[in-house]
Structure formats: C-alpha cells, structure tokens
Chains A and B, each alone.
Chain A
Amino acid sequence: MDLTLSPAEEAFRDELREWLAANHPGREPAGDEAAFQFRLAWQRKLNDAGWTGVSWPKEYGGRGATLVEQAIFNEEVVRARTPSVANVLALAMGGPTVIAHGTEEQRRRYLPPILSGEEIWCQGFSEPGAGSDLASLKTRAVRHGDEWVVTGQKVWTTFAHHAKWCMLVARTDPDAPKHKGLTYFLMDMEQDAVQVRPLRQITGESEFNELFIEEARIPHENIVGAEGDGWAVAITTLMHERATLAFGLQVSVQIALRELIDSAKESRGENGRVATDDPVIRQHLAQLLIESEVLRLNAYRGLSAIMRSGVPGPEGSLGKWHWSEVNQSLTEVAMEIAGPRAMLADDDWSYRFLRARANSIEGGTTEILKNIVAERVLGLPRMR
C-alpha cells in the first residue's frame, strides 16, 4: 500500500503545476458567449503546450499519459483553478469513445480538431421522454443509400449552440429489443435540419439546449462502433469517464470547502459569535472535511482497482452519487453560515447553492446510481 506518487508521477505533476502557474489565463468573464470564447482560447493554449488529450495515444495528438497521470492532471487543473476547456465533452467522452470504438480513419479525422478546439462536440442522448430510461429513446434513423435520415428531439444538450458534431444515439431498428436497436452516430450540427433552442436553468444561464431534428442527414461512415451497438458504445464511455472525473470532482469539493471555512471565519452568527466557534457549524464543517477525504480516497482506490483489472467497475457510480450529496451538503452549510444573506444573490455561494441541485440528476440520477450499486455491486434482484 503506497499512497505517494512515484518520482516519475511527481515530475509529471511538478511540470504541470509550473506550466499552469505560468500560464493561468485569469478570471473567466461573465456571459455565456464571452465565457465560451475564454474557455476556447484557454484550450488552444493548453493544446499548443501538449496538455490536451493527456491520456490519449501520442499518434492521435495525445500525451500517452498513464491513468495515474490523467488523474493527477484532472486534480491539478482544478487545484490551480484554471477554467474548464471549451470542448470538455469531446475531450472527456467523445474522443475516448472514438479511440475505443471508432475506426482508424475516424480517429485520424476527428481527434485532432477535438484537441485544438476547432470542432466542438455536444451530446445527443436524453430526450423529453427518455432520461433515466435512456434505452427507450425514440429519435429515429432510417437508412437511405449511403446515408441515414434522422428525425427526433433531444434535450439537455450542453453546448449545442457551439457544436460542430453531436454524439447522437438514435434508434435504427425498432423491431429489436430496445437496448439492441440503437446506433451511435456523429451528426453534423451545421445543417438546417438541426434546430437548437436554448433552455434556461434555475441559475439563470442557458448551458443546455433542446435539439429539433427534422430529417437531418448523417453519412454511413459516421457510425461509431457497429450498427445496432449504440447502447454498448454509449455506456462504456460513461463508465470510463466516471472513474477519472472523480479526481477533478473531489479536488473541487476540497477547494470549495476550504473557501467555505475561510468565509466562515469571517462570518458572525449567533450573538455575534464567529461561525467557526459555533459547535454545530464546527461539526458540519468537520463532517464535510471527512466526507471530502472519503471522496479523495475512494477515487484513488477505484483507480488502483482499474489498474489491476484494466476495466472500470460500477464503483464509479458510488463516487458520483456520494459526490453529489457532499457537494449539495456543502452548499447547504454555506447557506447556514450566511444567515440572512442566504436570501441574497450577490455572491458565488448563492450560484453554487442553486447549481448544486442539478448534481444529483446530471450524469446519472442518484436513484439510477443506487440501482446500479444495488444490482451490479451487491447483486440484488432487479426491480423489473
């Protein structure tokens, strides 16, 4: 058992830390469009210095880093409080999908513009009638010669308004059992047949969109994996992503918690007492410290397990579920510390508090994740 980094891993981390410190782009501007351009510029800078696609094979423009180095990277960019990259979905999900399931031509065609940010990707999975029950999705793709004609509707499509490519899962065989009749396509967003309508979130911004697809065209060679294999392609991507995502998430919780503790030291609560002297607040903060440590340790244990077996297990679902509860709890404690200022919307905490309500829904609802843990880890019988 060794919870330290090897000399090579430390060197990797130190090199990255130095580069991030020297190249930090400053604070992200407000406003959807300005923020997007800022993140795109940051991604280009990272890419020019070889810091995108960190664990992707070198022949596709990646760095060929190990799993541990990818985890270190995810931690360090959060620790340095650098902005997100513009093409986050392509880098975290789309690219790895093409690497794992795509043809050599697809890898050569799609991976470099992902890294440079030249082609932004969005995700077309969920539909108004198909959220947790994703396999029941209805968007239909019909083959016409060399291409597929697609009609349907997608929802919660993050970054659709900036995207060139959509990772689209559509039904290609309505007669097959529902999980077997799906195919994973790369759909060109720059066609009139695809209409994007923004959806406003409770926080006020519009990261999400609806997609209205009316006979859009997709060339046959844009299928990733085999026809009819769309479910398996989509799921393995989600599993791979959850394992390494855990590293960034646990560091962001640790940073947010440190900020919360600092702000608690400045707040006066009951009878003018400093919030951190309130025994109840101390207990809450200590519990958050403990649970954020659990998130960190579990992320490392999960990584060790993948390194041994080569395959991410369903334990990643446990991590995402737990993270969402810890992060929500953290923002709720922040509101407790804020006292009457909890009614105002004048600082980061009010944004984080509202934004956190989505944590237990996005990327797999807590209810679905509990089902996965119960069925696949504990072996309990399925409900249906």
Chain B
Amino acid sequence: MNFGFSDDQQAIKRTARDFLAARYPLTTVRALAEDDRGFTDEQWQELVELGWPGVIIPEDQGGLGLGAIELVVIAEEMGYALAPSPWFSTTCAALMLVAAGTEEQRERWLEPLAAGEARGTLAVWDEHSGWAPDHSEVEPGPDGALSCVKIAVPDAGSADFVIVSGADGRHFLHNVSDPGITLVAEPGIDPTRKLFRVELDGAAAEPLEYAPDKIARAYAAIVTLLAAENVGAAQRAMEMAVAYAKDRTQFDRPIGSYQAVSHRCAQMLLEVEGARSLSYWAGWALDNEPETGPRAASMAKAYAGDAGFRVAASALQVHGGIGFTYEHDLHFFLKRAHANAHAFGDSRWHRDRVADLAGV
C-alpha cells in the first residue's frame, strides 16, 4: 500500500515542473493568451522532444507506451504552469484512436501523432443538444457525410483532424484538409485554451470502431486529465494566495494572521488535497483496476471541477482589489479552472454518474 509515485513517475514530474517553469513563465502564458494561435511551433517542438504527445501511444508506434498515471502527472504540472498548448486536445484525439481507431486510422495517424508531426482534436458538443457530454444528435447522411455544428472544440484551428462524436456513441474522423469544414475561432472565457466552432457541411467522415467500453475508458481518461489540470491550477492559485497573505500587511500585521484569511487558505488546502487524491486514484484505477476507473474518474472530475474554481475564486478574494485586475495573473487560473469544470461533463453531471455507478 503505497500512494507515492514510482521513481520514473517522479522523474517525469520533476522534469515537467522544471521545464514548464523555465519555458512558460507567467509573462509567456499571458502573451500566448493574448495571441490568436496560442503557441509557437518551437514550443510544440520542445514538448515533442520530451515525448509528451505520445505518452499513451504504444512504443511500437513511436510513443512512450505509458498510462493514465503519467498523463495525470503531466496534466497536473501543465495546470500548475497554465501552459497554453494543444497538448491536451491532441492527447484526447490520441486516446480515442488508441481506444477505437480502425486499423487504417491507427496506421495513418498514431506514429505522426507520437512524433508531433500531426495533431488531432475532439469535437463533442452539438450546438443545440444540451449539456450531457455523451449525448449528440449527429448522424451521418445516407452518403456517410456529416453536416453538423460543434461548439467549443479545443485547438481545431491547429489540428490536422477532428474526431466528431455522434448519436448512439458513434464517432467519426474528418481530415481538416478535406472539403466541407469551416473553423471559426470562438471567444472563450479561458484565453489559454483556444476554442473553435466547427461547421461540417457534407464533410467526409470515417467512422471509428463501435467500441462503447473502450471509448468510455478514453473519456474517463480525458476527464481525469482535466481533474489533474485543475489540481495544478488550484495549487498554484493557493500558493499565490498564501504568499500574498504572508506579505500584505494591513492594520500593522500580515493579513494571513487574521483567521478569516488563514482559515480560508486552510479550506483551499483541504480542497486541493482532496482533488489531488481523487485524481491520482483515478489515474491509478484506469491503469490497474479498470472496473473502478469510470467511477473514480467521475468522482475526480466532479470534485476537482468544483475545487478548481472555488480555490481560485477564494484566492482572488484573498488578493482583494488587485486580484480582480487583468494585470494580475490570478484570473487566468480562475478562468481555466472554470472552463475545465464545464468541459466533458460538469460536476453536477458527473455526480449523477457517480450515483448511478454506486447503485443509488
């Protein structure tokens, strides 16, 4: 019984922390947030050199052949640094292809994904069909083409293909270079993750395999990633709040010496640690105890969704007026935590799943 990471996992974590601190200081994060594309080719290449695009791609296709725990480790550090990058969206695409790609799709895309030569993304949200992430009304036409609108698709503008979710758990792959697709950049609350409206009009679409269990596992990994990102973002926000509370004096004493402030910070720690424990457990379960995976992933996403936002909002409160300025970096963490809380199922939706899975 040992909750600690292995030596290899700790090495990944340390490398990630050091690399991201050096290459994504908050001035860089801010600049990328204000930039339309949101990342440079050089920055992407640096991640490729670390092998990160291929974390869960099998070794015989040029990936690292690692698992959900390693994804969690990297995602937490990415959230801590708030590094803008298409790494998350292309990892979603890789997870789906590994789970349910046809042989042809895997042949065509997995090696380029692992090598960072291609990127994919996942389009889940129908424009008009409500908020459940597993509910889409998209169906191909009689000729197999897709005509639909998906909103809030991450990084579609820099992706080579889009995997589109459809009715009854079916998924389809469309090459962005093929005709029938229009991408429109959508303004997002979180400027560190670029969102797009994807309009397909008679667009060619290759079905993925129909593999509901494997696809469910891929979604469980995706929400676990988002939970881990929120852990990192919340941790950073909490550290900012604690540092501020030690430093800022009013009425001749540091504001952190007042219990209203110190108790608020203690509550932040409680929520960050709870979210952390659940995310690590979910990553472990997905790799080692698959029957527990979906429940653990939904628990992690529900709790970390709430905790991410609440901790960042609480940190903003500790900062007083300056926390509310655009110039201070805290709002970026708040916005990411909020966006993550509402992506791939919000906390309410995941709690309902937890109730279902627990037999309530």
Contacts and interface: CB of A to CB of B under 8 A. Distances in A.
Interface of A: 1-6, 9, 68, 261, 264-265, 276, 279, 282-283, 285-287, 289-291, 293-294, 297-298, 300-301, 303-304, 307-308, 315, 318, 321-322, 367, 370-371, 373-375, 377-383
B266 A373 contact: yes
A276 B289 CA distance: 28
- Pick from B5, B9, B69, B348 the residue with the most CB of A within 10 Å: B348
Contacts of B289: 3
- Pick from B253, B281, B288, B303 the residue with the most CB of A within 10 Å: B281
Interface of B: 1-6, 9, 69, 242, 245-246, 253-254, 256-259, 261-263, 265-267, 269-270, 273-274, 277-278, 280-281, 284, 288-289, 299, 302-303, 348, 351-352, 354-355, 358-360
A264 B303 CA distance: 23
A3 B278 contact: no
Given A2-B2, A276-B360, A380-B262, A297 B277 contact: yes
B284 A3 contact: yes
Contacts of B2: 1-2, 304, 307
Contact of B273 (A5, A279, A298, A308): A298
Contact of A371 (B253, B262, B281, B358): B262
11 contacts: A1-B2, A3-B3, A3-B281, A3-B284, A301-B3, A322-B270, A367-B259, A374-B262, A378-B262, A380-B257, A381-B254
Contact of B266 (A286, A293, A374): A374
Contacts of B348: 283
B319 to A, nearest CB: 15
Contacts of A5: 1
A221 B238 CA distance: 49
A293 B259 contact: no
Contacts of A2: 1-2
A308 B351 contact: no
Given A68-B1, A285-B360, A290-B303, A1 B266 contact: no
Contacts of A291: 274, 303
Contacts of A297: 3, 277-278, 280-281
A5 B263 CA distance: 36
Contacts of A308: 4
A4 B1 contact: yes
B1 A378 contact: no
Q: Which 6 A-B pairs have the closest CB atoms?
A: A286-B351, A297-B277, A374-B262, A304-B3, A294-B274, A380-B256
Contacts of A301: 3, 277
Contact of B263 (A298, A322, A370): A370
A1 B284 contact: yes
Contacts of B259: 367, 370-371, 383
B349 to A, nearest CB: 10
Given A290-B302, A308-B4, A373 B277 contact: no
A261 B354 CA distance: 13
Contacts of B257: 380-383
A358 B263 CA distance: 20
B263 A374 contact: yes
B3 A290 contact: no
- Pick from A294, A298, A301, A303 the residue with the most CB of B within 10 Å: A294
Given A261-B360, A285-B360, 15 more contacts: A3-B3, A3-B288, A3-B289, A261-B359, A289-B354, A290-B351, A293-B281, A300-B1, A300-B3, A301-B3, A304-B4, A322-B270, A370-B259, A380-B257, A381-B256
B269 A377 contact: yes
B6 A378 contact: no
A372 to B, nearest CB: 9
B271 to A, nearest CB: 9
- Pick from B9, B274, B289, B359 the residue with the most CB of A within 10 Å: B274
Contacts of A374: 256, 262-263, 265-266
Nearest to B276: A301
A286 B269 contact: no
B3 A1 contact: yes
A285 B9 CA distance: 34
Nearest to A260: B360
Contacts of A1: 2-6, 9, 69, 280, 284
Nearest to B242: A378
A287 B353 CA distance: 11
A304 B351 CA distance: 28
A320 to B, nearest CB: 11
- Pick from A5, A264, A293 the residue with the most CB of B within 10 Å: A293
Contacts of A276: 355, 360
Contacts of A282: 351-352, 355, 360
B1 A3 contact: yes
Contacts of B351: 282-283, 286-287, 290
Nearest to A381: B257
B132 to A, nearest CB: 14
A293 B281 CA distance: 10
B198 to A, nearest CB: 32
A290 B9 contact: no
Contacts of A264: 360
A286 B354 contact: yes
A70 B296 CA distance: 26
Contacts of B266: 370-371, 373-374, 378
B359 to A, nearest CB: 8
Contacts of B302: 286-287, 290
Contacts of B3: 1, 3, 297, 300-301, 303-304
